[in-house]
Amino acid sequence: MSKIVGMGFYAPEKVYDNAYMESIVETNDEWITQRTGIKERRIAADDEYTSDLATVAARRALEDAGMSAEELDLIILTTVTPDYFTPATACVVQKNIGAVNAAAFDLNAACSGFATAMTVADQFLSNGTYKNVLVISADALSKATDYNDRGTCILFGDGAGAVIFSSEKGGVLSSWIGAKGDGGDKLTSLAYREDAEETEKRISHNKNTIWMAGSEVMKFAVKIMAEAADKVVADAGLTWDDIDIVIPHQANVRIVDSAAKRIGIDTDKMFINLDRYGNTSGASIPIALCEARDAGRLKKGDKAVLVGFGGGLTWAAAVIEY
Ligand code: COA
């Protein structure tokens, strides 16, 4: 009961390519390309914040939908790099775009944010509470990245993706969101909590930067992506032959390839743009969705699987009919 009626994305202008990464940490283009598939990432300007990226993406989605901001009933924004703890970044965007009739709140499911928020939006739309919901995933991960840590800094980039869902038949055919809190210590960024052990793990000892046990997160990711994608396809009463495209969270091409192998589908079914953006957290799926549509890979009536995983640890998957 939640059709996509508009979408848009924004990626900042500044680029950190692999040559630049080579200049700041002990790494090289070959290692990054082979181990991650990433070639470059977009980086927000010093005075450009998550709400700024989100606002541009939101305006583009409204334009795409031919809808005015006043028609929005709700804005859900997912981020792990909010401008403020309060107000919610969703409220900042609500003000910026003039969505005066919309409720607004933030949701934190890290890189699983978009499919999680979409699942929440679908509840409000399916039960008749709201007619138009804007889901935005936006992150300025560069502001939470330790650029002395070669294990993480080569992965992350900044960006925002926004999608408007309206209460029409079809749309979200099935979804599954989940969490495994006992794996939460594998990927952390501290807020108020003072935790000397956590802080010590970070090369720069800056507790607000992202720390990750990369290979353990990778094992979790491959397993859960395959399991979640299989489940939502079955729950929608479909088989993999009915699915036209898979839009996975863009973290590492090896994760995507391994998940495809596990599911038993051709990698060609997977849409990949992580070479140009790196891992933009929750924004990666809606950015990929926009690019897939613009490239003619996602057409009206197509069925797409969206599947993400991330900090928490969390996962979220859905089948949509575009
Ligand atoms: N350049 C060169 N060498 C690097 C490097 C870099 N940027 N980063 C790590 N290495 C080195 C390590 O120090 C290690 O060296 P050692 O064997 O001498 O100790 C070696 O490469 C292998 O490291 P490892 O961490 O086992 O590599 P990996 O194959 O697991 O790849 C990641 C590392 C981070 C790319 C990978 O684990 C990953 O992508 N994990 C998932 C991350 C993710 O998706 N996170 C977000 C969740 S939303």
CA atoms within 13 A on the CB side of 137: 28
The answer to whether the CB of 212 is under 6 A from ligand 1 is yes
If we measure between CA atoms, which residue out of 296, 301, 280, 3 comes closest to residue 163?
3
CA atoms within 13 A on the CB side of 314: 23
Q: What is the pLDDT of residue 170?
A: 80
pTM beyond cutoff 0.95:
yes
The answer to whether the beta carbons of residues 94 and 59 sit under 8 Å apart is no
Ligand 1 centroid, distance to 60 Cα (angstroms): 35
Ligand 1 nearest atom to the CA of residue 152, by list position: 34
If we measure between CA atoms, which residue out of 65, 134, 121, 123 comes closest to residue 94?
134
Ligand 1 centroid, distance to 166 Cα (angstroms): 41
The answer to whether the CB of 252 is under 6 A from ligand 1 is yes
The answer to whether the CB of 214 is under 6 A from ligand 1 is yes
Q: What is the pLDDT of residue 43?
A: 98
pLDDT tens-digit profile of 238-285?
A: 999 999 999 999 999 999 999 999 999 999 999 999 999 999 999 999
Cβ-based burial of 53 (10 A; exposed 0-12, middle 13-18, buried ≥19): buried
Q: Are strands 132-140 and 74-78 parallel, antiparallel or unpaired?
A: parallel
Ligand 1 nearest atom to the CA of residue 212, by list position: 45
Does residue 205 carry a catalytic annotation? no
The answer to whether the beta carbons of residues 274 and 281 sit under 8 Å apart is no
Q: Give me the catalytic one of 111, 153, 252, 290.
A: 111
Does residue 273 carry a catalytic annotation? no
Domains of the chain, CATH where assigned: 3-169 (3.40.47.10), 174-321 (3.40.47.10)
Cα 187 from chain centroid?
Answer: 16
The answer to whether the beta carbons of residues 112 and 315 sit under 8 Å apart is yes
Q: Which among 112, 114, 218 is the best mutation to test ligand 1's pocket, defined by most ligand atoms within 8 Å of the CB?
A: 218
Q: What is the pLDDT of residue 25?
A: 97
Q: What is the pLDDT of residue 168?
A: 85
**Encoded tokens for 281:** 């957290």
Ligand 1 centroid, distance to 64 Cα (angstroms): 39
Count of other CB atoms within 10 angstroms of residue 208: 13
Ligand 1 centroid, distance to 217 Cα (angstroms): 11
Q: What is the pLDDT of residue 257?
A: 97
Low-confidence residues in the chain, pLDDT < 70: none
Q: Give me the catalytic one of 132, 153, 249, 290.
A: 249
Nearest alpha carbon, ligand 1 atom 42: 214
Ligand 1 nearest atom to the CA of residue 21, by list position: 7
Q: What is the pLDDT of residue 310?
A: 97
Please write down the long-range contacts of 64-69, taking CB distance under 8 Å and 24 or more positions apart. Answer: 64/6, 64/7, 64/8, 64/164, 65/5, 65/6, 65/164, 66/6, 67/5, 67/6, 67/132, 67/164, 69/97, 69/98, 69/99, 69/100, 69/102
Ligand 1 nearest atom to the CA of residue 110, by list position: 48
If we measure between CA atoms, which residue out of 130, 241, 170 comes closest to residue 4?
170
Nearest alpha carbon, ligand 1 atom 3: 27
Q: What is the pLDDT of residue 56?
A: 98
Torsion 196-202-205-208 (CA) sign: negative
Ligand 1 centroid, distance to 148 Cα (angstroms): 14
Q: Give me the catalytic one of 18, 132, 252, 279.
A: 279
Ligand 1 centroid, distance to 23 Cα (angstroms): 18
If we measure between CA atoms, which residue out of 225, 233, 223, 229 comes closest to residue 250?
225
Nearest alpha carbon, ligand 1 atom 1: 27
